[in-house]
């Protein structure tokens, strides 16, 4: 059994973070992938034993109407929803380049609620994942899809189903990858909630537990210490 605990992004300075945890999910690759030289510097600072997972560039998953485009000041007017167009595949190439430099083994694709369960979106996601290189374990965090559809797509495309374990259950994957959003993002997990989580993740052979709430650094530390006691 291997349980890895970390945060979605660096809530503190990188040097402090890597002394505390063994894994981080990179968020900058979602908004706007960094330059290769920046990724190489991260790899050097963190040391080779530290693990990066990578969140895929939003041009793959989110449309230009998404507020996250404006936040990242992206001058791109096409893309999203895995559509088989140049902008989407170029975005994958950028994601893949940084993931390779970081020696990542996992890439996470998070889709917005607007990526609804439709025939067109089903076709696009299947064409996308059947077209790209399979250099990594590929993970998908859908929103609003029914469990049967998620399982069918993940089985056909060999995707790990990403979920918040307090909201739902993971229905497919060679590993388990949990992203904890804290119910309302500002939520601080209670001792009882973390104890429940510890019992859940111990059911799996390999599991990533990535906190993504305001109190992520503290909550992840408390959870990591709890696991040591069990």
Residues ≥6 apart with Cβ < 8 Å to 13: none
SS3 content of the chain, % helix, strand, coil (to 5): 40, 20, 40
Q: Match 């069918």 to its residue by tokens.
A: 152
Mean pLDDT, to the nearest integer, of 100-125?
97
- Give dist(CA 104, CA 5) in Å, integer: 16
pLDDT surpasses 80 at 99? yes
Per-residue confidence (pLDDT) for residue 229, from 0 to 100: 86
State which residues form the domain around 147.
2-229
The per-residue DSSP string of 180-229 comes to E-TTTTT----HHHHHHHHHHHTTSSEEEEEE-STTHHHHHHHHHHHHHH
**Which tokens belong to 109?**
């694709």
What tens digit of pLDDT does each residue of 5-28 get? 999 999 999 999 999 999 999 999
pLDDT score at 124: 98
- Look over the chain and give the mean of its residue pLDDT values, rounded to a whole number: 96
With 80 as the cut, is the pLDDT of residue 230 above it? Answer: no
Task: Tell me the percentage of the chain whose pLDDT exceeds 70.
Answer: 100
More confident residue, 100 or 48: 100
Domain count, the chain: 1
- Span 122-143, pLDDT tens digits: 999 999 999 999 999 999 999 9
CB atoms within 10 A of CB 163: 22
User: Could you give the CA distance from residue 170 to residue 24 in angstroms, rounded to a whole number?
Assistant: 20
Tell me the DSSP string of 76-90.
--S--TT-SSHHHHH
**pLDDT value of residue 65:** 93
- For 227, the token pair is 């696991």
- 212 band by pLDDT with thresholds 50, 70 and 90: very high
Residue with tokens 């503190």: 12
CATH number of domain containing 94: 3.20.20.410
Model confidence at 75, pLDDT cuts 50, 70, 90, reads confident
Tens digits of residue pLDDT in 158-205: 999 999 999 999 999 989 999 999 989 999 999 999 999 999 999 999
**Of all helices (H) and strands (E), which one includes residue 126?**
helix 119-131
Tokens linked to 112: 């917005």
pLDDT of residue 1: 81
């Amino acid at each position: 059994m291997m349980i890895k605990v970390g945060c979605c992004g660096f809530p503190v300075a990188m040097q402090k973070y890597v002394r505390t945890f063994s894994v981080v999910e990179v968020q900058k690759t979602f908004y706007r992938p960094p330059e290769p030289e920046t990724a190489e510097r991260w790899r050097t600072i963190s040391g080779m034993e530290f693990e990066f997972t990578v969140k895929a560039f939003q041009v793959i998953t989110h449309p230009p109407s998404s507020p996250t485009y404006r936040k990242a000041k992206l001058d791109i007017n096409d893309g999203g929803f895995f559509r088989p167009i140049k902008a989407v595949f170029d975005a994958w190439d950028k994601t893949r380049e940084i993931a390779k430099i970081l020696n990542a083994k996992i890439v996470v694709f998070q889709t917005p609620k607007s990526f609804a369960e439709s025939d067109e979106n089903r076709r696009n996601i299947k064409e996308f994942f059947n077209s790209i290189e399979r250099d990594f374990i590929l993970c998908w965090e859908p929103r609003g899809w029914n469990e049967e559809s998620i399982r069918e797509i993940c089985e056909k495309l060999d995707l790990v189903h990403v979920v918040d374990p307090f909201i739902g259950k993971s229905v497919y994957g060679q590993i388990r990858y949990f992203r904890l959003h804290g119910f309302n993002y500002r939520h601080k997990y209670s001792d009882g909630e973390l104890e429940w989580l510890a019992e859940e993740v111990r059911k799996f052979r390999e599991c990533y537990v990535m906190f993504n709430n305001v109190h992520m650094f503290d909550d992840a530390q408390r959870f990591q210490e709890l696991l040591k006691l069990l």
